[in-house]
Structure 1
Amino acid sequence: MKEPQLRIGIMYEKEISFHLNGTYVLQQNNKEYTGKQSVAYEDGIISFDGISVPVEALVFYPKDYNQGSFELFDVTIGIKFHWERKENQSFKGALHFICENEKITAINVLALEDYLISVISSEMSANSSLELLKAHAVISRSWLMAQVIKGETLQQSDTKYQSIVENEAEYIRWYDREDHVNFDVCADDHCQRYQGITKQSTSLVVEAINATRGLVLTSEGEICDARFSKCCGGVAETFENVWEPVNHKYLQAVIDNPHTPVGYDMDLEKEAAADKWIRTSPEAFCNTTDKEILSQVLNDYDQETMDFYRWKVAYSQAEIADLIARKTGKEFGQILDLIPIERGESGRLIKLKIVGSKRSLVIGKELEIRKVLSESHLYSSEFVVDKLGIEKGVPAQFVLIGAGWGHGVGLCQIGAAVMGAKGYKYDEILLHYFRGAALEKRY
């Protein structure tokens, strides 16, 4: 198998300004360009230097792949997260522009291993421990290759991919990279955080990539859809409770601890067990406040808040009623209750019933719950609810007490950082989170 070439969606705007560092050739006219440029969208057409291109890509490729790079201005990062912002970003490889959703999409095309050097530096600190960087290189490579294979399979299939189940009583939706049809993955947290060569890499990152080149996790001969999140909250979740209803043997519930915590019922699908687990702070790899370890996983903007393992959010009646109405597009009236209907094995809510004075609705899965109950995203769907100041059945305030940050499936980045600090090797870290998987070199 050869090293794959990837297509990564970077940004989506009506007009995009960019700077070509070095000489780039435009495929449409075979002319050479360098310096500052811009492209504009109007009525399904991309305009550049007298060229108008419908739908198909406007393609710039570097004359020298290793020396050339380009800079995109005002790239939005952390889309719909609490730290969303814009920054200029530089990238290695080719630059494609396509028309999509009445905007221009900028796509970076480059070799997989070059992509990984950036991903490891973007998702985590480039100064993380070597074992942690190796582990992350393997899961990022595995996830990406699995997504490319899945995308090709979906394109060849006559069956339309379905991610929404909706009726009068329920709205169940899961979000995954299938949202992208014109490129392999996006550059934001929806897929894997990728910020090109903007994030300063180190020799340690390059060493981790080179040491694991072509190495992936496999299960029954197939490349693993290796997922990861910031903090599992003490127990990793199963794949099918977060995304499509497919069971992966290597993405099961994992207690993030060498031993089962004493004094807890670990059947967290049960409400009483989940309630105790979430309201307390059981020992786990990811239960740490060590700033040196956290800085290996968390970039500066991630460290703007530090309550990853356990957290709390409070809403007044007016705030939560307005939030739910806006996010669902449905009028619930006053919010009377938030009732857990179904939990996964980590305690994360799969289904939540919103009870209003005008209507009720069951929502899921975990990301839909997080989107509806926050202006951006709740840290996770692993939470319990306290209702305060109830008068005539109407709470004055809802307090959400929660655990973990992210979907919780697969590798827990903070837990893995702690394991690395404790002396675990990268393969031990991987096989802790991906039970029954194997390491296999594919190229």
Structure 2
Amino acid sequence: MKEPQVTVGIMSERQIRFVFNGTYLANGVPVSGEHEAHTDGKQIFWNGNRYTRIVFTPEKEDYSFCLKEVTIGVKFHWERKEDQTFKGNLNLIVENGLITTINALSVEDYLLSVISSEMSATASLELLKSHAVISRSWLLAQIRKNKELAGKKPDSLIRTDKELIHWYDREDHINFDVCADDHCQRYQGITRACTEVVAQAIQATHGEVLTYDDEICDARFSKCCGGVVEEFSSCWENINPPYLTALRDDKNEKDFPDLKNEDIARQWIYTSPTAFCNTTDKKILSQVLNNYDQETTDFYRWSVVYSQSELAHLIHKKSGIDFGEIIDLKPIERGTSGRLVRLQIQGSKQTLIIGKELEIRRVLSPSHLYSSAFVVEREDIQNGIPQRFVIHGAGWGHGVGLCQIGAAVMGEHGYPYREILLHYFVGANIEKLY
């Protein structure tokens, strides 16, 4: 098999600024230096002309382009803008009334950036090898899935009088394979320093993917599982690939409690059980957490406090539903890691069950809660209305597949990358695809 190409959606704005570091060709015409393009919602205006699509191709392979003020961490608590530099083609299209910038490049070049963007380029070699294999596997599985769907997005929204169940996956993208933010995989071009060890990890695993029953694995990952790995169906479609199953993030991976049970989940979240990802070692954490991620200091166990007015306003704003005063946040269904899949919001005006995990995290935070594995304490109850809510939680992210912090600890403890991968992806194989 020949090495595939990938198209990555970087940003969407009415107006974009970009700089070519070298000569690029647009319809055979050489261009360089700084440029600006804008749209009226239908066409792209650039260089005095109108276009529906523009493709810029570098004259030489080592030339690059810079996009100005790219938003990273979209709708997460670390959201910010930065200038980013990329290799490969720059494509401009009009999408939903905005200019979408798309970077087209080879899979292995894409991985050089992803590994440096998802974690520190100073991480251990075995951790970087692990991440190279799962990032490559996830990407190629996603490209295959997009082709099978042929632009037909699965029904990811269920709305009744009693429930609002919404899950978010990568099929949202139609005009490119993946996006550049946390919604898919962090991809920040060559902005993040790619060290020799990152290049070594990519080269050592060149073309390697995880497979199960001769299919490339949909290899998911998150920052911190919180001690037990979650199942796929808690976050996305109602399917559970056998290689993405519940396990303890520890040497005794089958020794985990029934966290679907509310009493057991509550006890688990209030304590701090041993796990690979239960670490405060700054050396290890710096391997996984980039500078803005390190602003998050508590992730294995954490807490958030809201007043009644803060929570009521927040839920109204994020859900678009006026619940009135919030009486209770009641767990209805939990997954294997204790993450809430369905949560009932009881208000003075109405009651509704929401899910899945990301929708719960989205509605209960100005950005996103670290995870949906939490319990709620109602305090200062006056006339049946709590005046304060304390949310105690576990983990960071959806918790499915590889736990990045747990994998970093395993790498530091001498586990080779194959053992790290087969700890998190049960029954999978590692095969060389190209």
TM-score by length of 1: 0.97
User: What residue is the counterpart of 1:174 in the other structure?
Assistant: 167
In 2, the alpha carbon distance for the partners of 1:97 and 1:160 equals: 23
In 2, the alpha carbon distance for the partners of 1:341 and 1:385 equals: 13
How much does 1:50 deviate?
2.6
Pick one of 125, 139, 151 that aligns with 1:130. 125
The residue identity in structure 2 corresponding to 1:127 is T
Matches within 5 A, 1:401-440: 401-440=392-431
In 1, the alpha carbon distance for the partners of 2:314 and 2:48 equals: 46
How much does 1:261 deviate?
9.7
Contact 1:338 1:352 (8 Å CA) reproduced: yes
User: What residue is the counterpart of 1:77 in the other structure?
Assistant: 72
Pick one of 331, 334, 356 that aligns with 1:340. 331
Pick one of 282, 297, 316 that aligns with 1:291. 282
Contact 1:261 1:283 (8 Å CA) reproduced: no
Contact 1:261 1:282 (8 Å CA) reproduced: no
In 2, the alpha carbon distance for the partners of 1:115 and 1:19 equals: 20
User: What residue is the counterpart of 2:305 in the other structure?
Assistant: 314
SS in structure 1 opposite 2:305? strand
How much does 1:306 deviate?
1.0
Pick one of 236, 241, 246 that aligns with 2:239. 246
In 2, the alpha carbon distance for the partners of 1:118 and 1:132 equals: 15
SS in structure 2 opposite 1:320? helix
| 1:49 correspondence with 2:40 | no
The residue identity in structure 1 corresponding to 2:187 is Y
| 1:278 correspondence with 2:269 | yes
Pick one of 216, 220, 227 that aligns with 2:213. 220
> Measured at CA, do residues 319 and 440 of structure 1 come closer, stay the same or move farther in structure 2, by a change above 3 Å?
same
How much does 1:259 deviate?
2.2
| 1:88 correspondence with 2:86 | no
Pick one of 252, 255, 258 that aligns with 1:259. 252
Matches within 5 A, 1:86-165: 86-155=81-150, 160-165=153-158
The residue identity in structure 2 corresponding to 1:64 is K
The residue identity in structure 2 corresponding to 1:95 is L
The residue identity in structure 1 corresponding to 2:37 is V
Query: % of aligned pairs identical?
Result: 61
The residue identity in structure 1 corresponding to 2:59 is K
In 2, the alpha carbon distance for the partners of 1:40 and 1:289 equals: 46
Pick one of 380, 384, 388 that aligns with 1:393. 384
Contact 1:370 1:378 (8 Å CA) reproduced: yes
In 1, the alpha carbon distance for the partners of 2:138 and 2:153 equals: 22
The residue identity in structure 1 corresponding to 2:321 is K
SS in structure 1 opposite 2:366? coil
The residue identity in structure 2 corresponding to 1:112 is V
How much does 1:294 deviate?
0.1
The residue identity in structure 1 corresponding to 2:80 is R
In 2, the alpha carbon distance for the partners of 1:261 and 1:384 equals: 24
In 1, the alpha carbon distance for the partners of 2:247 and 2:26 equals: 50
User: What residue is the counterpart of 1:60 in the other structure?
Assistant: 56
Superposed CA offset, 1:362-382 (max 9, x none):
000000000000000000000
SS in structure 2 opposite 1:178? helix
SS in structure 1 opposite 2:183? coil
Contact 1:119 1:192 (8 Å CA) reproduced: yes
Superposed CA offset, 1:286-339 (max 9, x none):
000000000000001111121010000010000000011111111111000000
SS in structure 2 opposite 1:322? helix
In 2, the alpha carbon distance for the partners of 1:255 and 1:288 equals: 15
User: What residue is the counterpart of 1:351 in the other structure?
Assistant: 342
How much does 1:2 deviate?
1.2
How much does 1:260 deviate?
6.2
User: How many residues are paired up?
Assistant: 434
How much does 1:160 deviate?
4.8
Superposed CA offset, 1:186-232 (max 9, x none):
00001000100010011100000000000000000000000000000
In 2, the alpha carbon distance for the partners of 1:334 and 1:282 equals: 35
| 1:192 correspondence with 2:206 | no
TM-score by length of 2: 0.99
User: What residue is the counterpart of 1:330 in the other structure?
Assistant: 321
Contact 2:165 2:354 (8 Å CA) reproduced: yes
User: What residue is the counterpart of 1:36 in the other structure?
Assistant: 34
In 2, the alpha carbon distance for the partners of 1:260 and 1:137 equals: 23
In 2, the alpha carbon distance for the partners of 1:183 and 1:24 equals: 21
SS in structure 2 opposite 1:389? strand
User: What residue is the counterpart of 2:228 in the other structure?
Assistant: 235
In 2, the alpha carbon distance for the partners of 1:330 and 1:126 equals: 43
The residue identity in structure 2 corresponding to 1:63 is E
User: What residue is the counterpart of 1:371 in the other structure?
Assistant: 362
The residue identity in structure 2 corresponding to 1:52 is R
In structure 1, list runs of 5 or more residues that go unmatched: none
